[in-house]
């Protein structure tokens, strides 16, 4: 098994959208391309890496530099998805390690991830690779007119 990690490109928008759909976050490849373009144009504060197996994307991770008033700067993993047919091959760990490397360039002392309360397998994964659960929280959205 030859897993290769690389930075995401706009050409990955279709497969990244498909992988999002596996977790219930359905989106079109066009919308994903727009999101990716904006994020890729902000590489100072965002990183997106993909994992490939035999040159096919089988996972991705997105992280961002977080600067807030109430906390010291940190890097937060915004999303991590591995193709359901490629679980338990070490791909998630490899992607987290890649973000950890990127985080060190930001001189932060903390890497954070949030995981939906129903994703028990994800919680076990993060704990197994060294993350510590610190709290549960609710998320509230306010929709704005567009």
The pLDDT score that the predictor gives to residue 123 is 92
Fold of 3-128: Aminopeptidase (3.40.630)
Q: What is the pLDDT of residues 93-119, one digit of tens each?
A: 999 999 999 999 999 999 999 998 888
Task: Compute CA 84 distance to the chain's CA centroid, rounded to the nearest angstrom.
Answer: 15
Q: What is the mean pLDDT of the chain?
A: 94
* pTM score over 0.85: yes
Question: In the chain, where are the structural domains located?
Answer: 3-128
Distance CA 142, CA 145 (A): 10
Rounded to a whole number of angstroms, the distance between the first and last alpha carbons of the chain is: 46
CB half-sphere exposure, 12, CA atoms < 13 A? 24
Residue 117: predicted pLDDT: 85
């Amino acid at each position: 098994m030859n897993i290769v990690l690389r930075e995401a490109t706009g050409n990955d928008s279709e497969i990244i959208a498909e992988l999002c759909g596996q977790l219930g976050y359905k989106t079109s490849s066009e919308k994903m391309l727009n999101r990716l373009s904006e994020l890729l144009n902000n590489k100072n504060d965002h990183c997106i890496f993909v994992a490939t197996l035999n040159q096919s994307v089988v996972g991705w991770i997105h992280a961002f530099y977080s600067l807030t008033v109430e906390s010291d700067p940190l890097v937060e993993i915004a999303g991590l998805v591995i193709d359901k047919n490629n679980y338990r091959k070490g791909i998630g760990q490899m992607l987290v390690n890649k973000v950890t490397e990127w985080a060190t360039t930001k001189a932060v002392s903390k890497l954070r991830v949030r995981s939906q309360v129903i994703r028990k397998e994800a919680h076990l994964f993060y704990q197994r690779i060294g993350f510590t659960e610190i709290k549960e929280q609710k998320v509230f959205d306010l929709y704005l007119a567009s």
